[in-house]
Every structure is written in C-alpha cells, then in structure tokens.
Amino acid sequence: MAHSTESDLDDASAHDASAHDASVRDAGEATRRRQLFPRPAHSILTRTGGFLSGFTHSLQPYSGCQFSCRYCYVREMTVQRANPFGLPWSRWLAPKTNAPELLWRTARRGGLEAARIFCSSATDPYTPAERKLGLTRGCLEVMARHPPAALVVQTRSPLVLRDRAVLARIPHVLVSVSLPTVDEGVRRLMEPDSPSVARRLDALARLRRAGLRTQAAVAPVLPGDPAALARALDGCVDRVVVDDFFRGDGAGGRRSRGALERLRAAGYERFAEPGMAAEVARELRRHLGSERVLESEAGFNDLGWASSV
C-alpha cells in the first residue's frame, strides 16, 4: 500500500492551507509533549459489541490518543491500564504502522463487504500524528477500493478535511465530528488540546459541501446554550447524536468521575447530573426537527442512512 503524502493534497484550496497550518501548529504542540511508539500490529479490525452493537468491527489505526479530553473514559480502560509504556493517558501514542496493509489483506479475502465499521472508538483517527503518518488515510484508500457495508469516521479534528476526496469514494460513509459544546471556554476547560469549536464547525460545513454525509456527536453533552448549538449545526450536519456521561461511558458515569468533579468545581452542576442529554436533545429537536436528532446508543447505532445495511 502506498500511503499518501502532503504532495498528494492537490485539491487543497488556500482556505485548506490555512486550516492545515493551524492543524500543524496543533499537531506540533501536541507531539512535543507526547511520545510516539510506532510498531506493527497483529490485527486491525476488532469485533464490536456492547455500546456499538450496530457495528461489526471497530478500526483503530492508533493505540492511545494525543488529544487529552478531560472526560475521556478510555483512560479507565485496559488499553491505558495495561499500556506497556508506563505513561499517563494522552502522553503516548502507538501508531499501528502496518494498519493499511492489514486492512488490505482482509479486503482481499472479501472480509470488508459485510463489515459495518466504526473508526475509531478508543482513539481519534485524526490524532495529530496522522498528518505525517497517513495511517488512517491509508485505511480509507483500502476502503475506497473495497467498500464496507457502512463506515462511520468519528473524529474531532479538521484534519479529516484532508481526506474528503478519498471519503467521497466510499459509498456508505458518515463523517461524525465530536462537538460537545459551542462554548469555547467550556471547550478549553474540558478539551484543552483539541481543535476549536469554530474549526470543527467549519470542517463539518465543508465536508457537507463536498457531498459527504455529516453528523455532530454532542457526546458527552457539555455546558452551553442548546439554542446556540442548534443554530451553529443547522446547515452543516445531516444529523446530531446527543449523549451524556452516564449512558455514554458504558459504566453509568463511573468512568467519568473526574470529569464530573471538574464540571461541578467550575459551577456547572446541572451538566454533571443525568438527564441533560435528553433536555438538550429536546431543544435541538425544536430547532432541527425530530428526525435529525438522535440519542445515545440507539443514535450511534442507527445505520439507516446506509442503504447497504
């Protein structure tokens, strides 16, 4: 598999270039503070179950993640607890250097045709290192030639824009961008190393203009004005999925204790209680229409948009 490089990005406009520059700055800053452990993996597709029961597999081109969302429940899971590097979550990243090759082998055996793939559930496929390594892009190239029955690309990074031409060649794909709040102050409090709200909204709008199906994942819902959220999303997403800490972390909120304490300490007690996702979803439905607003597990697993499923 030939991986794409920066020189392949001949469809990038001047606007892209400036967004990419910002991505590079983000990536550079993040990478300076984090250690990379590139190594080949034994497998690339993992059978799903539980929360992602609508999917057959998850695809993680990376182990670990360079974003350090304060609410990330993956830090409470085996991938972090058993990490061999002895580093805290978000301080290490293990790129699976042979990810596209492994996926290619699966594709050649016909293993992708019926697959419903979620990319990714325990990392961000556009973690800053992806800009140089192109492992996610390499996997997308494989799926453009051997399309799965459905693919959801879940990210919080505008770097996904780089791959919109490849994504457009995959028939049943939905690009989901995490946007738990449109309050930039809250974003900085809970996702200090992640791209800004404005850049994520811009990415969603441009992905949709490129003809891609888009989703905003308001998950976990963070403090902010739901009406402002609805106004920001209308026009740039096909649908929204709302979730909270209590349903979304797979442990009734136990994996999110630190994030909930942080919210309470900052004066956002209401958002640290169950029920906010339903309340925000109601408000979003008032503005966007009920068919465009889904909730929690049922929402993430709704693959009705993929005619192949």
Residue pointed to by tokens 């800004």:
196
Q: Are 67 and 34 in contact (CB under 8 A)?
A: no
Name, in order, each residue with C-beta under 8 angstroms of 307's C-beta and a sequence gap of 6 or more: 172
Q: What is the CA radius of gyration of the chain?
A: 18
Nearer to ligand SF4, 74 or 240 (CB): 74
Min separation Cβ 219 and ligand SF4, Å: 9
Least distance in angstroms from the C-beta of 273 to ligand SF4: 21
Nearer to ligand SF4, 72 or 170 (CB): 72
Which two tokens mark 73?
């429940």
CB of 155 to ligand SF4, least distance (A): 8
- For ligand SF4, which is the closer residue by CB, 56 or 157? 157
- Measured from the CB of residue 169, what is the shortest distance to ligand SF4 in angstroms? 25
Considering the complex, state which of residue 122 and residue 288 has its C-beta at the smaller distance from ligand SF4: 122
CB of 123 to ligand SF4, least distance (A): 5
HSE, side-chain direction, 13 A CA sphere, residue 297: 12
- Any alpha helices (H) in 146-183, and if so which ranges? 164-167
Interface residue list for ligand SF4 (CB under 6 A):
65, 67-69, 72, 74, 90, 123-124, 156
When the beta carbons of 74 and 233 are compared against ligand SF4, the nearer one is: 74
The least CB distance from residue 118 to ligand SF4, in Å, is 12
The label of the residue with tokens 């057959």 reads 56
Instruction: Give the phi and the psi of residue 100 in degrees, each rounded to 5.
Output: -60, -40
* For ligand SF4, the closer CB: 52 or 65: 65
